[in-house]
Amino acid sequence: MRRYDILDTPPDGAYDRVAALAARLFEVPVATVTIVDEDRIWFKATHGLEGVSEIGRDPGLCASAVLTDDTTVIPDTLLDPVACSNPLVAGPMGVRFYAAAPIITADGYRLGTVNVLDTRPREISETDSATLADLAAVVRDQLELRLSALRVVRAEQERRKVEQEKRQAEEEARQRAERDKAAIAAFASTLQRTLVPPVLPAVPGLELACHYKTASPQEVGGDFYDVFPVGEGRWAFFLGDVCGKGAEAASVTSLTRYTLRAAALVDADPTAALKALNTALLLDPAVGTRFCTAVFGMLDPARDGGFTVTLATGGHPPAYHLSPTEEGGVRVEAVRAKGGMLVGAIAEAAFASRTLHLAPGQGLLLYTDGLTEARTADGHMLDDTGLTDFLARRPAPVSAGALIDDTVALLDTLPDTERDDVALLALSVPTPDAAPAGITTTAHSAAAPTADVSVGQENRRP
């Protein structure tokens, strides 16, 4: 009965028609469809019995009829020893005839009865009994149809509930992922800002510009650069790339940067700084198997207003020395020092240096391999050849700020620059006619709140 969920449901036309049909077929004043509950008899449909929805389970009529598999017929209730005391018989209604067929489910449960009642004693035939049983079967079929519909509705409700819970779970997961992503990006951005100088220094007689961009805002990059004074008018600079990404690479980057700074203050030889870094990386157990590439330079002011530049390399791509030509173009020379092994890979690593003169009007570009390994639209790496061609097509004069701006514009045209971090550092010596007295420092942009950091600064003596 609980399975059919029929108790206390509103009136239903199908059951009402069964009661009315029973009354008409048997020519009785009262016919009902009842469901027998644990402690009551509930009327699903009534004909000729207004205002009654349920009665007690007194023995004699429905409560007795529901216990049998066959139609119950009591021709004269006053002669039946059990039915005679039922309130419907002994009460004001004065029922004298009662017949009922049980409503039996397909799996044998008896739920209630279809009843016909009269105030006069009477007899019915076996055919009439069979007709009453058929009416009970019609009620059973209605209950089965209702149960099937309920199952469909419940299945649909369950499906919608599951889908809603799934959507809710997905939405919560998405929001949690976005919060985690934002937190990671903020952490990476904060950590990244500690690995590069917040501003470039103002170097008398030199224009500086830089650019830094991580491949992903969620990861700390391994590229690094710096420019700092070493005393007596001399300046040092370096740029490099630590193997790997993330917090471990960041810790190596931090160690690298501060080791190079400290080494430069002790020994003016750039190769000595790389040797010190090589030793530091190999001795620190936290570094593990990580190594880095680096180019380290020392700037000595020259009499002509330019600088003597000593460059030492440790497995790093060459720097590019740019000089204006008489024809208005730019001559590009790759500055390669013979030798120069990876830093932090082996204890016996050897490093080499090369000295050049950076004259007024000339510039120097340092970069990490995120630039030359970027893919062009046709799928090929930009490579040293592509970078050389790009630099050679630029018109004179050579300006560090314009050089960085143009290189960043080149990166913006490449489709897959998100694969690797990119660090750029440019130095140029302004010509006397383009250099009024005074030194200005201009920040073109600041570190973004995410790790997608783009920094460009110039120190000019216009």
pLDDT at 440: 37
Q: Is residue 439 a contact partner of residue 462, using CB atoms and an 8 Å limit?
A: no
Residue with tokens 């990861």: 219
As a whole number of angstroms, the distance between CA 371 and CA 418 comes to 11
Beta partners for residue 308, in sequence order: 300, 357
pLDDT at 456: 41
pLDDT at 287: 66
As a whole number of angstroms, the distance between CA 309 and CA 196 comes to 22
pLDDT at 460: 41
pLDDT at 441: 38
pLDDT at 448: 35
HEC assignment per residue over the chain = CCCCCCCCCCCCHHHHHHHHHHHHHHCCCEEEEEEECCCEEEEEEEECCCCCCEEECCCCCHHHHCCCCCCEEECCHHHCCCHHHCHHHHCCCCCCEEEEEEEECCCCCEEEEEEEEECCCCCCCHHHHHHHHHHHHHHHHHHHHHHHHHHHHHHHHHHHHHHHHHHHHHHHHHHHHHHHHHHHHHHHHHHHHCCCCCCCCCCCCCEEEEEEECCCCCCCCCEEEEEEEEECCEEEEEEEEECCCHHHHHHHHHHHHHHHHHHHHHCCCHHHHHHHHHHHHHHCCCCCCCCEEEEEEEEEECCCCCEEEEEEEECCCCEEEEEECCCCCEEEEEECCCCCCCECCCCCCCCEEEEEEECCCCEEEEECHHHHCCECCCCCECHHHHHHHHHHHCCCCCCHHHHHHHHHHHHHHCCCCCCCCEEEEEEECCCHHHCCCCCEEEEEECCCCCCCCCCEEEEECC
Residue 187's φ and ψ, nearest 5 degrees, are -65, -45
pTM of the model: 0.59
pLDDT tens readout for residues 260-297: 999 999 998 999 999 999 999 898 877 677 789 999 99
pLDDT at 461: 37
pLDDT tens readout for residues 77-102: 999 999 999 888 998 889 999 999 99
In one letter, which amino acid is 328? G
pLDDT at 221: 72
As a whole number of angstroms, the distance between CA 270 and CA 90 comes to 120
pLDDT at 454: 41
pLDDT at 450: 37
Q: Which residues of the chain carry a pLDDT beneath 70?
A: 187-194, 217-219, 287, 417-418, 434-462
Supply the Cα-derived Rg of the chain in whole angstroms.
48
